[in-house]
Amino acid sequence: MDNSIISVSNLMKSYKDIVAVDAISFNAYEGEILGILGPNGSGKTTTLKSILGLILFDSGDIHVSGMDVKKDHLKILRNTGAVLEGARNVYWHLSPEENLKYFAGLRGLSHSHIKDRMNILLHELELADVRKKEIREFSKGMKQKVALACAFIHDPDILLLDEPTLGLDVEIARTMRNWLKEVVQESGKSILVTSHDMDFIESVCDRVLIIKEGRILSHETLQSLKMKFSRKVFHLEIADTLNQDTFRRIEELGELTVENTDNSCRLIILLKNAMLIYDLLEILRSADSEITDFSTVESDLEDIFLNVIKNEPE
């Protein structure tokens, strides 16, 4: 074993003839937020449930805090929190405070033991003013925050979140994002999170797994992912139109789109190699084309994700 807090090795899980997880391996470390991205049905939720010991996987090994999931399932759950199905994790006819007391009780913790922590969670997640109200009256985002507080009431070192921002408005998603980052920075806890919200993943995660059909396509830090897969699109506007020879020479450099107007021409080009920008500028100079506007647009995480999924190796 290494210093990972979660170690997944050759995990396999099938449902009848459908392979949900196909021999994936990865580690998660103390004090990091690891994102798991993938299309629907890619195996994200199955992976989280396997780590928690909530489903029986076919083969492979999972260790959490050095313990084997198959042998030490209950011990692992004592130091793990999870939100797997959003607001369905909590009881709608109870208040946030009553939910927190209930879930603390399931962990063997008394009200007096968790009183201070409960108050802190309610305050940090902006639930203090509604602590006595039944959560069936809450918005989806407010219910999701209650579920997150309940998953964290016993102060676990590991938190697993499945689509925590699904359906949330921008303000509540921002509150959740900032809170998770503060938790990791201040206490060194570890979080695994799946999401389709690329802005959320990009703003909170240190590393990202991209999986498709149960297989890992990429396992990178965000910085490395961007360096490997980011694409830079150049936008140029010139004060005349392109002749056929100039068009042909530029087209050889990458994917070119040309938008002509009466007196100018706009070029949008994805170069095969970013260094070819110098060749592009030389072609335009030799054609006596005056550049009146120049800008670049770099891929965001969603573009990179789609690029990885689309261009996976056979």
CATH number for the domain that contains residue 262: 3.30.70.980
What is the number of residues in the chain? 314
Buried b (16+ CB within 10 A) or exposed e, 39-61: eeebbbbbbbbbbbbeeebeebe
- Of 178, 193, 228, which closes a domain? 228
Shared domain for 161 and 72, answered yes or no, is yes
* pLDDT score at 255: 85
In degrees and rounded to multiples of 5, residue 108 shows phi and psi of 80, 20
Give, in order, the Cα–Cα distances in Å from 49 to each of 84, 118, 205, 231, 290: 8, 26, 20, 35, 59
Shared domain for 121 and 241, answered yes or no, is no
191 is a domain residue: yes
Give residue 242's pLDDT band: very low, low, confident or very high (50, 70, 90).
confident
- Of 228, 260, 285, which closes a domain? 228
| 3-state SS, residue 20 | strand
User: What percentage of the chain has pLDDT greater than the value 90?
Assistant: 35
* pLDDT score at 64: 94
310 is a domain residue: no
Q: What is the mean pLDDT of residues 28-51?
A: 91
Shared domain for 129 and 240, answered yes or no, is no
* pLDDT score at 108: 85
* pLDDT score at 203: 86
State the CATH number of the domain containing residue 20. Answer: 3.40.50.300
- Of 177, 212, 228, which closes a domain? 228
Structure-model confidence comparison of residues 238 and 307, the more confident one: 238
Q: What is the mean pLDDT of residues 146-167?
A: 89
* pLDDT score at 300: 73
* pLDDT at position 312 over 80: no
Least confident of 72-86, 102-116, 213-227: 213-227
pTM of the model: 0.76
58 is a domain residue: yes
305 is a domain residue: no
Average pLDDT along the chain: 87
| 3-state SS, residue 95 | coil
* pLDDT at position 162 over 70: yes
Shared domain for 248 and 216, answered yes or no, is no
